[in-house]
Amino acid sequence: MTASIKGRKAIVTGAAQGLGLACAHALAEAGADVGVCDINPAVEDVAADLAAYGGSAWAAVADVSSPDDVRRFVDGAARRLGGIDTVVSNAGVCLRTSPLSDPWEKAVADYDLTLGANLRGAYLVGRAAIPYLIRQGGDIVNMTTDHIHTCGWPVALDHADAPDCPWAAAPRPPGGGRAFDVYDASKWGLNGLTQAWADALRPHGIRVNSFGMGATDTPMYRGFLGDRAPAPGVMAPANVAAVLLDLLAEGPEGRTGDSVQLWIGHSCVLPPAAS
């Protein structure tokens, strides 16, 4: 598996902590050269940790919703790493929102922040990186959510191998519920973008997949919970990152346009490609 990762030129957004940091470490440990960005200045310390694996590493403070920041990061990473063939668009935010009780100013601000990070950011990063990927092929992976691909929709699983899934007794419907209208809109939009790019970029040897997961033990998830305890079976970021490597290791003949999904209570392994 690591033979197909070694020598890759990867960029990971939202990599100062949590899942993005775990993905950056997994890529670097497997032999990739890695560029990372985040709005959190702590991302600048990540490059030295990644370089300790023996490859090239570079970090930049950047807001993925800003075209100028994105061009600076992507073009800078391409110069430092000698190209780009792997994009992991992980940066994102998750806010509770309500179409009934949120005041107008909050509704507008929450929309701009969430769509800016989750959808506009992935779009800008992908568009900036595609000219580099076209030169040699590669992968774009857009991080989504289990809200758009559940273990009960669009295909219900029988759960024979996942008795601990909280939805084992009844199919889980799509969507996160009434408190996630803006978040779900951003992730459903990202899934649509993934499908269109997969079709357009396939002739150029570029695979584009979405990669969603259920509750993962990250600072974002912990912050969202507040004082509540994590859900039983919450996934470890390192385990999710290992599945990302398996997806990338499929190589040019692997799946594209797929919605790869991991759920709590199920095995944290790369699922078969969608038929």
User: Tens of pLDDT along 35-60?
Assistant: 999 999 999 999 999 999 999 999 99
> What average pLDDT does range 80-85 have in this prediction?
98
Beta carbons within 8 Å of 16's beta carbon, 6+ residues apart: 36, 38, 40, 42, 43, 46
| CATH at 145 | 3.40.50.720
* Structural domain includes residue 268: no
pLDDT computed for residue 2 by the predictor? 47
Compute and round to an integer the Cα radius of gyration of the chain. Answer: 18
Is the distance from CB of 71 to CB of 132 less than 8 angstroms? no
> Each residue of 17-40: pLDDT tens digit?
999 999 999 999 999 999 999 999
Q: Would you say residue 271 lies in a domain?
A: no
Is residue 237 in a domain?
A: yes
pLDDT of 209 strictly over 50? yes
SS (H, E, C) the chain: CHHHCCCCEEEEECCCCHHHHHHHHHHHHCCCEEEEEECCHHHHHHHHHHHCCCCCEEEEECCCCCHHHHHHHHHHHHHHHCCCCEEEECCCCCCCCCCCCCCHHHHHHHHHHHHHHHHHHHHHHHHHHHHHHHCCCEEEEEECCCCCCECCECCCCCCCCCCCCCCCCCCCCCCCCHHHHHHHHHHHHHHHHHHHHHHHHHHHCEEEEEEEECCECCHHHHHHHCCCCCCCCCECHHHHHHHHHHHHCCCCCCCCCCEEEECCCCCCCCCCCCC
Query: Considering its fold, how many domains does the chain have in total?
Result: 1
pLDDT above 70 coverage of the chain, percent: 99
**What pLDDT digit, counting tens, does each position of 90-114 carry?**
999 999 999 999 999 999 999 999 9
**Per-residue model confidence (pLDDT) at position 99:** 95
Q: pLDDT value at position 225? A: 73
- Is 273 a member of any domain? no
In angstroms, the CA 176 to CA 178 distance is 7
Higher pLDDT, 216 or 75: 75
The whole-number pLDDT of residue 1 equals 45
Least confident window among 42-51, 99-108, 143-152, 230-239: 230-239
pLDDT of residue 264: 92
Q: What's the whole-number mean pLDDT along residues 9-13?
A: 98
What pLDDT, on the 0 to 100 scale, is given for residue 3?
55
Q: 272 lies in a domain?
A: no
Q: pTM for this structure? A: 0.95
- 251 lies in which domain range? 2-262
**Is residue 54 a part of any domain in this protein?**
yes
